[in-house]
Amino acid sequence: MHMKPTLILTAVLLYVFSPICSAKPLKVFILAGQSNMEGHASISTFDYIGKDPLTAPILKEMRNPDGTPRVCDKVWMSYLTGPYDGSANGEGLGKLTVGFGARGDQPTKMSGNIGPEFTFGISMEKELNEPILIIKTAWGGRSLNTEFRPPSAGQYKLPKEIQEVWDQHPQGAHGVPKLEDRKKWQEEKKAASGVFYRMMVDHVKKVLAEPSRVCPEYNPKAGYELAGFVWLQGFNDLVDGQTYPNGNYEEYSRLLSHFIRDVRKDLAAPKMPFVIGVLGVDGEKNVNFRKAMAAPADMPEFKGNVVAVDTAPFWDHDIAAAEPKQGEYNNIVSTAHTLKADGLFNSEWKWENYWKPIGKPLPEERIWHFATVDVTEKKDKLEKYDDRRFRDITLPTGMDDWHKPDFDDSKWTSGRTPIGKGVWDHSGIKLDEFPSPWGKGEFLLMRTTFDVEHLNFDSYRLAVLARQGFRVYLNGQVIHTYIWWQDKPQYGSIVLEKEQINYLKKGKNVLAVYANDQYDLKTPERYAAMDVRIEGITKADQKKLDLALEEVLPLKDREALKGASNGGYHYFGSAKIFAQMGKAFAEANLKMIK
């Protein structure tokens, strides 16, 4: 039986134009590097992008009409990251949107940050109009010369100049290990070499073994295509004078060339387009390093499929100019009171009289009742001295309610603050005489009362002098906990939130503090100082303070700093910079695949 011509033609057309046969391979892009590839740009800096006519169009692509962050319908992410040592890596999955930037210690959870992946994916989706898979791996603080070291680069070797210095100092010196410690150093270096390279490759292979796990629109019959690799790294190598002495970064060029060859080999993609994101921290500076990063793109073997994108042009000079002023400004607003060289209160400090003490008697006249205790339970003890020593301990019987208003502290020691012990000699200021001695115990419990006539201030803060972590209670309720060290010979300023202020009341108030002292890591000496005050500021005084602070950080600079959320080595955590980088990486990649 023969088919009619019309039926035959129809069958052929159905076959030719069937979805299975016309489907394109899924385009897969790999993004890798260290903290700048993680991306520390906070969503809070998005508005700043729109203030520049040159970048405002990018912001429109990043947001929905209602101002919320865009979610890319055709772009899926697999993001492997974790702590610096990679010990707790986690994979984040989902459609591309805000949140695939730096994630700190929660690698599987969406964050409020972006890296270059956001606008990279947006640009790719717009140009390709097809399903896209991005596999991103990034860890902060990792170098190409060690942790990302490619297999074919060989074992790490000290440069000749550095080896000669080591040979001249067998007993060790600053930055030079002793002769007997060098074997251990070499073993540790060898063990660390290539660890993150392997993590990166293993994760990419894991995702590509089952792309549909990440991208539901993956068509197994059409397969996938490794359409690009973007490398954004370099800071740890830039500052590594041991590996690159005298600013000679030729070794980085060699390592990166091996890296390109190795990832192509390991992923069976010999011509995979490769984009080098040339580190642009500090703008046009670091010329030698930037040239070394870009150098592989000019090698004949990589012609046409490796391109270098300089990120220095995206450096924000307005933010860079404002950053130093931000440091001075932050120091002022985070400092309640300063001390003189002899450790006494500095009442002549320029910024001293805007905030006012709350309650009577005045803080300097107030009597505190205090007791000190030591650790008695084995579970509360530290095996060795540790800088982060603040911790809760089991208190002696009858002291569990020590912080509550009705607790009887009449048998405790009494005195004025600062309560302290030992010698705190730091930053040219010496505290060695205290109105009240701390006592022998490591942990301090202290309480005082004060009367409040009115609550007419606009804002309230804690002014805290402390050597270590502490916890503050107001009328039996916790209003602040700090668990790190406080190695500043000045009073910190901690502005209270509305919820915390609610515990402050007219009439009698009870302020209580839990703290501990500090061991000097070089000697077993213990030293500490503790004082806490509650202060307020009126709207009128706040306006005066703001006006005075204009001299330190002008409005123009404050506006620029709205575009920053992190340090300079993270491109200021500026979404404007990361958005431009991601778009540029995508454009460079597209030129190689079209």
Domain ranges of the chain: 24-150+194-313+565-593, 157-192, 335-539
pLDDT at residue 13 in the model: 40
Closest by alpha carbon to 74, among 24, 32, 20?
24
What tens digit of pLDDT does each residue of 345-383 get?
999 999 999 999 999 999 999 999 999 999 888 888 876
CA distance 312 to 470: 43
Average pLDDT over all residues of the chain: 93
CA distance 108 to 91: 5
pLDDT at residue 7 in the model: 39
* Share above pLDDT 90 across residues of the chain, in percent, rounded to a whole number: 85
Question: What average pLDDT does the segment 238-261 reach?
Answer: 97
pLDDT band of 259, cuts 50, 70, 90 = very high
pTM for this prediction:
0.78
pLDDT at residue 22 in the model: 60
Residue 389 has pLDDT above 80, yes or no: no
CA distance 149 to 218: 32
Question: What average pLDDT does the segment 312-320 reach?
Answer: 97
pLDDT band of 319, cuts 50, 70, 90 = very high
What tens digit of pLDDT does each residue of 497-513 get?
999 999 999 999 999 99
Please name the residue ranges forming H helices in 334-469.
Answer: none
pLDDT band of 4, cuts 50, 70, 90 = very low
Q: Which of 131-145, 175-189, 251-265 has the lowest mean pLDDT?
A: 175-189
| Contact by Cβ (8 Å): 145, 252 | yes
**Is residue 419 classed as helix, strand or coil in its secondary structure?**
strand
pLDDT at residue 390 in the model: 83
Residue 4 vs residue 421, higher pLDDT: 421
Closest by alpha carbon to 112, among 443, 575, 442?
575
- CATH 3.90.950.10 assigned to domain 335-539? The reply is no
Closest by alpha carbon to 38, among 565, 569, 570, 575?
570
CA distance 506 to 221: 75
pLDDT band of 97, cuts 50, 70, 90 = very high
pLDDT band of 334, cuts 50, 70, 90 = very high
CA distance 504 to 521: 39
pLDDT band of 394, cuts 50, 70, 90 = very high
State how beta strands 356-357 and 368-373 pair: unpaired
For domain 24-150+194-313+565-593, give the CATH number. Answer: 3.40.50.1110
Alpha-carbon separation of residue 19 from 75, 557, 562 (angstroms): 20, 55, 48
Question: What average pLDDT does the segment 75-86 reach?
Answer: 94
pLDDT at residue 9 in the model: 40
| Contact by Cβ (8 Å): 21, 47 | no
Residue 64 has pLDDT above 70, yes or no: yes
pLDDT at residue 524 in the model: 74
What tens digit of pLDDT does each residue of 163-190 get?
999 999 988 888 899 998 999 999 999 9
What tens digit of pLDDT does each residue of 9-39 get?
444 444 444 444 468 999 999 999 999 999 9
What tens digit of pLDDT does each residue of 424-451 get?
888 899 999 999 999 999 999 999 999 9
Residue 313 has pLDDT above 70, yes or no: yes
Closest by alpha carbon to 444, among 335, 521, 532?
532
CA distance 85 to 294: 28
Question: What average pLDDT does the segment 336-341 reach?
Answer: 96
Alpha-carbon separation of residue 87 from 39, 83, 196 (angstroms): 20, 7, 11
For residue 578, what are the contacts with CB-CB under 8 A and spacing of at least 6?
A: 39, 41, 101, 114, 115, 116, 118, 119, 571
Give exposure, 415-453, as e/b (b: 16+ Cβ within 10 Å).
Answer: ebbbbbbbebeeeebbbeebebebbebbbbbbbbbbebe
For residue 6, what are the contacts with CB-CB under 8 A and spacing of at least 6?
A: none
* Residue 568, phi then psi, degrees to nearest 5: -60, -35
pLDDT at residue 426 in the model: 85
Closest by alpha carbon to 224, among 183, 269, 194, 173?
269
Residue 6 has pLDDT above 70, yes or no: no
Peptide bond just before 151 cis, omega within 30 deg: no
pLDDT band of 320, cuts 50, 70, 90 = very high
Cα 495 to its chain centre, rounded Å, is 23
* Residue 57 identity: P
Residue 525 has pLDDT above 80, yes or no: yes
Residue 554 vs residue 390, higher pLDDT: 554
